[in-house]
Amino acid sequence: MDKTEGRILLVDDEADILEFLSYNLRKEGFDVKCARNGLEAMDISVQFRPDLIILDVMMPGMDGYEACRQIRNHPDLKETVVAFLTARGEDMSQVEGFDSGADDYIRKPVRPRVFISRVKALLRRIPQTSEDGSRITFGDLIIDKEKYVVIKRGIETELSKKEFELLLLLTSRPNKVFTRDEIFAGVWGNDVIVGERTIDVHIRKIREKIGMESIKTIKGVGYYFT
Amino acid sequence: MDKTEGRILLVDDEADILEFLSYNLRKEGFDVKCARNGLEAMDISVQFRPDLIILDVMMPGMDGYEACRQIRNHPDLKETVVAFLTARGEDMSQVEGFDSGADDYIRKPVRPRVFISRVKALLRRIPQTSEDGSRITFGDLIIDKEKYVVIKRGIETELSKKEFELLLLLTSRPNKVFTRDEIFAGVWGNDVIVGERTIDVHIRKIREKIGMESIKTIKGVGYYFT
DNA sequence: TGCAGCATTTAAAGTTAATGTAAAGTATAT
DNA sequence: ATATACTTTACATTAACTTTAAATGCTGCA
């Protein structure tokens, strides 16, 4: 019940701005945490594992650039997307910003709608489901398309063809609910006719192999992958 | 009329301001129309399809915020860029303004040259990143048709099939009162027969999930969504 | 105003329908 | 022929839905 659009860490020394931005982000379904300075940002990041960190450039103590550099040097955080918040007219500083490893620049004053779509665009480019070659990764689940194998927490399990195709269909759009009809069409094709319970049985087998939580049911509608 | 830079609707109850702004905008080649209040603004908008609506916050009758909300709820207008005109010192109102869906704030007194460049900046980003088709937004409520969930102020809640269908029906025409018969026909189909109280119970569940205010009752008639 | 009468709200109990599951049956491939 | 995958069956379980009934709240009228 608390699936979110993505985790975001806001870092700014001004409470107003934190409040304003976090309000707007939460409204869109993001899981937001705030930090007042670079140090705090690092601490929270290690725990919270944000998908995106939005850093104010000017902060007392460790400034945005330095914080960004540290993030890039931290083994667990270096993949995190980082965006800077800058006051108007700080354009020249962008050189240093990108140099320190920023992914984007957001100029103050912030306009909510633009801001939100910018954030969404940034998160979209996250290798949320990183796909290197034949493998797709979802958190602790790895699906290997070539070997017809899934690896859950390092435990490798073979999937049969139908199981695999069904899982691929569901994972092709995480969180989308696939109706039974869509599943039939996608996995069996429209002409093949099999009993209603067939899908359930395959779902059960998949759940057995990748964990119960991964596939959810909406009664009367269908299934979805998280 | 030669091709214009863009269509702009000005909404203000003070004729002076309308005249002043429209003069300056027309001089720059914009196609400008004016409205005296929120109601008039809605009427003209539907016909005129402005690219940008500039709303005074304080107006008799429907104020700017309410007008903005209505614009955002109107299927044909929700992509329109909206900017507020505010008197000096109304800063705190920005929260309500952005909440109601505004894209920008313009402070009075207006300086023509600044104003024009602001307007141009707003129009420049007209190809607004429109929300993906699977989600419908009503203020702080997001309905995701694919995921069978609603997001209210960032809190995601699953809906069951019936709840979801009922909510979709009501939201398909906000403010229209659906009679109980219409609801039966729309959600259950004309052949299914269930008791009178069934609808109420589902309405209650939905209210529980998206907030009491969202669905109103008209005694003896039915329900509507706002 | 106060009360009667009716409609809706609400919680909880009851029912139904859909899915979960194990195991047996059938097809397919090696 | 045998193993493996797939489907079907039949029963158990669960969540969704419906009904019930009591409480609340409106509306109009005396």
Cβ separation B125–A113 shorter than 8 A = no
Give me the long-range contacts of A184-187 (CB less than 8 A, separation at least 24).
A187/A162
Same domain for B166 and B120 = no
Q: How far is B161 from chain A (nearest CA, A)?
A: 7
Q: How far is A69 from chain B (nearest CA, A)?
A: 31
Q: Which of B69, B97, B124 is the C-terminal boundary of a domain?
A: B124
What is d(CA B114, CA B116) in angstroms, rounded to the nearest whole number? 5
**What's the domain count of chain A?**
2
> Position of tokens 């993906």?
B132
Same domain for A105 and A139 = no
What is d(CA B216, CA A21) in angstroms, rounded to the nearest whole number? 31
Q: What is the pLDDT of residue B168?
A: 95
C11: residue with closest CA to C1': B201
Pick from A110, A51, A68, A48: which is nearest to A85 by CA? A110
CATH of the domain at A87: 3.40.50.2300
Same domain for A156 and A72 = no
Same domain for B9 and B120 = yes
- Strand D contact nucleotides, protein CB < 7 Å: 4-10, 15-21, 26-27
Interface of A with B (CB under 8 A): 1-4, 20, 23-30, 111-114, 117, 120-121, 173, 175-177, 218-221, 224
Tell me if residue B211 falls in helix, strand or coil.
coil
Handedness of CA B151, B153, B157, B160 (dihedral sign): negative
Same domain for A120 and A17 = yes
Same domain for B9 and B116 = yes
Q: How many Å from the CA of A167 to C1' of C17?
A: 26
Top pLDDT among B209 and B116 is at B209
Q: Which of B124, B154, B169 is the C-terminal boundary of a domain?
A: B124
Cβ neighbors of A16 (< 8 A, separation 6 or more) are none
Range of the domain at B95: 3-124
Average pLDDT, chain A: 83
Cβ separation B146–A24 shorter than 8 A = no
Q: What tens digit of pLDDT does each residue of B42-52 get?
A: 888 877 888 89
Question: What is the arithmetic mean of pLDDT over B209-223?
Answer: 94
Residue pair B55/B11 in contact (Cβ under 8 Å)? The answer is: yes
Q: How many CB pairs under 8 A join A and B?
A: 57
List, in sequence order, every residue forming a beta bridge with A156; answer none if it has no partner: A151
What is d(CA A38, CA A67) in angstroms, rounded to the nearest whole number? 5
Per DSSP bridges, beta strands B178-179 and B222-225 are antiparallel
Same domain for A141 and A60 = no
* pLDDT score of B129 more than 50: no
Q: Which of B124, B144, B165 is the C-terminal boundary of a domain?
A: B124
Choose the weakest-confidence range: B15-29, B86-100, B211-225: B86-100
Residue pair B148/B157 in contact (Cβ under 8 Å)? The answer is: no
Q: What is the pLDDT of residue A128?
A: 53
pTM of structure: 0.56
Give me the long-range contacts of A4-7 (CB less than 8 A, separation at least 24).
A4/A29, A4/A30, A4/A31, A4/B154, A4/B156, A5/A29, A5/A30, A5/A31, A5/A120, A5/A123, A6/A30, A6/A31, A6/A51, A6/A52, A6/A123, A6/A126, A7/A31, A7/A32, A7/A33, A7/A48, A7/A49, A7/A50, A7/A51, A7/A52
Best-predicted range by mean pLDDT among A143-152, A194-203, B44-53, B110-119? A194-203
B202, two tokens? 């589902």
Q: How many Å from the CA of A204 to C1' of C22?
A: 11
Give me the long-range contacts of A202-210 (CB less than 8 A, separation at least 24).
A202/A162, A202/A163, A202/A166, A203/A166, A205/A160, A205/A163, A206/A159, A206/A163, A206/A166, A206/A167, A209/A150, A209/A152, A209/A157, A209/A159, A209/A163, A210/A141, A210/A150, A210/A152, A210/A157, A210/A167
Residue pair A9/A37 in contact (Cβ under 8 Å)? The answer is: no
Give the CA distances from residue A40 to residues A14, A36, A79, A101, in Å, rounded to whole numbers and listed in that order.
14, 7, 19, 19
Same domain for A198 and A150 = yes
- Strand C contact nucleotides, protein CB < 7 Å: 7-12, 17-23
Q: How far is A75 from chain B (nearest CA, A)?
A: 30
Same domain for A185 and A80 = no
Top pLDDT among B129 and A191 is at A191
Interface of B with A (CB under 8 A): 95, 98, 101, 103-104, 125, 128-129, 134, 140, 142, 146-148, 151, 153-158, 160-161
Same domain for B118 and B31 = yes
Same domain for A118 and A7 = yes
Question: What is the arithmetic mean of pLDDT over B73-95?
Answer: 69
Q: What tens digit of pLDDT does each residue of A121-130 get?
A: 777 766 555 5
CATH of the domain at A197: 1.10.10.10
Cβ separation B161–A218 shorter than 8 A = yes
Same domain for A34 and A139 = no
Residue pair B87/B106 in contact (Cβ under 8 Å)? The answer is: no
